[in-house]
Amino acid sequence: MSSGSEGYPYSQEERVAIAAVTRACTLTSSVFETLVKNETLTKGDKSPVTVGDFAAQAVISAIIHAAFPHDPIVGEEDASDLRVESGRSMKDRIVALANDALTTPLVAGEDPAWNLGPGTTRTDEQILEAIDRGNYGGGNTGRMWTIDPIDGTKGFLRGEQYAVCVSFVVDSQVKVGVIGCPNLPVDPSEPSKGLGAIFSAVRGHGARQLSISNPTQGSIALRIPQISESEDLSFLESVEAAHSSHSFNDRVAALLNVQKPPTRMDSQAKYACLARGQGGAYLRMPTGVGYKEKIWDHAPGEVLVVEAGGIVTDSRGEPLNFGLGRTLGENYGVIAAAKSIHPKILAAVQKVQNDAKAKV
């Protein structure tokens, strides 16, 4: 399949990513309604993973592989826990969920070559293989995809924000990012209007918001308001204090005379909200426990924010490096903000860091 046949580079990859995220979002929403106790595992790093995470990764990976069979995939999950006897019941449920999502009739924008729709049921082994295809180690050359099938699994389990995230990367630069947020209001000023938005960006071609229920229609272009007064900010930050330092953000906010309280939200929904003008900045500073950020937690958000008129750097002011493998390497945090205000926030972050160093 050739890239860019719709008039801009990587439009085919975007189309595939939107289709995969849309199908996966329908799956995760339905899983949430029916999730029972024995459908969640605790991984080696103590984080939760549900049948929804595994099944969504299988669906997205299967669609990408059918469309671009030679492209490697860096996916968060792997199927090893499902290949042992104790994982049998979860595996059966995951295979059923993934096949349900893959075999629903084709909709506008989907290509028959992607092996979707009635009659395309995969075997158990094909579903496990699809999950395990996400085992690529990453790197700085060539094409690759990232999948975070449920970003913010803790938020998903709480019934709050989570995101289904896919990116397409060439030579370590993110070219396409798609983030599906089933629990996010379509219109932040009118939450009663309904939930479920997809955000999509293609490098050099802008960022837009689509509706999950009808992704081929009514796309809204995204622009971050270029605010210059830090008083107008309301930092977007993680819900989980273990994931990023709330107290560091409080000190930055005090230095910048930020008046509004932070907005806490799980997942890359934070990047999506920033891209559509909410909050003005997303700050994710390490908690100091040596955690390395994963590329699938930031790649779609980075291109989305940049294409909406923002900047994403670490606390040194360096761009995030997606070519180092499955992680972003040593953790210098993430600062994402409108272009107009990013330098001011970066300077405040560095001052708080220096003050902390001077104290020890």
Ligand X SMILES: Nc1ncnc2c1ncn2[C@@H]1O[C@H](COP(=O)(O)OS(=O)(=O)O)[C@@H](OP(=O)(O)O)[C@H]1O
- Enzyme catalytic residues: 53, 153
Q: How far apart are CA 89 and CA 144, in angstroms?
A: 32
Among 294, 298, 326, 342, binds ligand X (CB under 6 A): 294
278 in contact with ligand X (CB under 6 A): no
User: Which of Mg ion, ligand X, none sits in contact with 242, Cβ below 5 to 8 A by type?
Assistant: ligand X
CA 291 to CA 289: how far, in whole Å?
6
Number of residues near Mg ion (by CB under 5 A): 7
Position among 52, 155, 180, 300 found at the interface with ligand X (CB under 6 A): 155
Q: By CB under 6 A, is residue 209 in contact with ligand X?
A: no
Structure tokens at 183: 């629990």
CB of 266 to ligand X, least distance (A): 4
User: Smallest gap, in angstroms, from Cβ of residue 149 to ligand X?
Assistant: 8
Interacting residues with ligand X between 59 and 118 (CB under 6 A): 76
Q: Is 302 in the site for ligand X (CB under 6 A)?
A: no
Is 111 annotated to bind a ligand? Reply is no
131 in helix, strand or coil?
Answer: helix
User: Which residues, in sequence order, are CB contacts of 291 under 8 Å at separation 6+?
Assistant: 331
- What is the rounded CA–CA span in Å between residue 285 and residue 257? 19
Name which of ligand X, Mg ion, none residue 132 binds, using a CB cut-off of 5 to 8 Å depending on partner kind.
none
Nearer to ligand X, 67 or 82 (CB): 82
> Rounded to whole angstroms, what are the CA distances from 3 to 13, 64, 155, 269?
7, 13, 35, 28
- Told to check if 76 binds Mg ion by CB under 5 A, we report yes
Tell whether 132 is in a known binding site.
no
Task: Draw the binding track, 280-309, toward Mg ion (x: CB under 5 A; -: no contact).
Answer: -----------------x------------
Say whether 45 counts as a known binding-site residue.
Answer: no
Using CA atoms, how far apart are residues 358 and 123, in angstroms rounded to an integer? 60
When asked if residue 28 is in the footprint of ligand X (CB under 6 A), the reply is no
Residue 41 β-bridge partners: 49
Q: How far is CA 308 from CA 43, 225, 226, 336, in A?
A: 35, 9, 10, 11
* Binding-site string for Mg ion from residue 138 to residue 167, where x marks contact by CB under 5 A and - marks none: ----------x-xx-x--------------
CA dihedral 70→71→77→79, nearest 10 degrees, is: 0
250 is in an annotated binding site: no
Q: Which does 266 bind (CB under 5 to 8 A by kind): ligand X, Mg ion, none?
A: ligand X
Least Å from the CB of residue 153 to Mg ion? 5
Contact letters (x/-) for ligand X, 210-249, by CB under 6 A?
----------------------------xxx-xx------
Contacts of 97 (CB under 8 A, 6+ apart): 27, 30, 31, 51, 52, 55
Give the one residue of 35, 129, 291, 329 binding ligand X; rule: CB under 6 A. 291
Q: Which of 81, 230, 86, 58 is nearest to 150 (CA)?
A: 58
Could you give phi then psi for residue 275, rounded to 5 degrees?
A: -65, -25
User: Over the range 48-59, which residues count as b (16 or more CB within 10 Å of their CB) and which as e?
Assistant: ebbbbbbbbbbb
| Dihedral in degrees, nearest 10, Cα atoms 80, 83, 89, 91 | 70
148 binds ligand X (CB under 6 A): yes
Per CB under 6 A, 267 contacts ligand X? yes
Cβ-based nearer residue to Mg ion, 223 or 292: 292
Tell me whether residue 171 is annotated as binding: no
Instruction: Please say which residue, 65 or 284, places its beta carbon nearer to Mg ion.
Output: 284
Strand locations in the chain (E): 40-42, 48-50, 73-75, 143-151, 163-170, 173-185, 195-202, 207-211, 220-221, 236-237, 263-264, 281-284, 310-313, 334-338
Q: How many C-beta neighbours within 10 Å does residue 255 have?
A: 17
The annotated binding site for Mg(2+) is made up of 76, 148, 150-151, 297
Site of interaction with ligand X (CB under 6 A): 47, 76, 148, 151-155, 238-240, 242-243, 266-267, 289, 291, 294, 297
Binding site for Mg ion (CB under 5 A): 47, 76, 148, 150-151, 153, 297
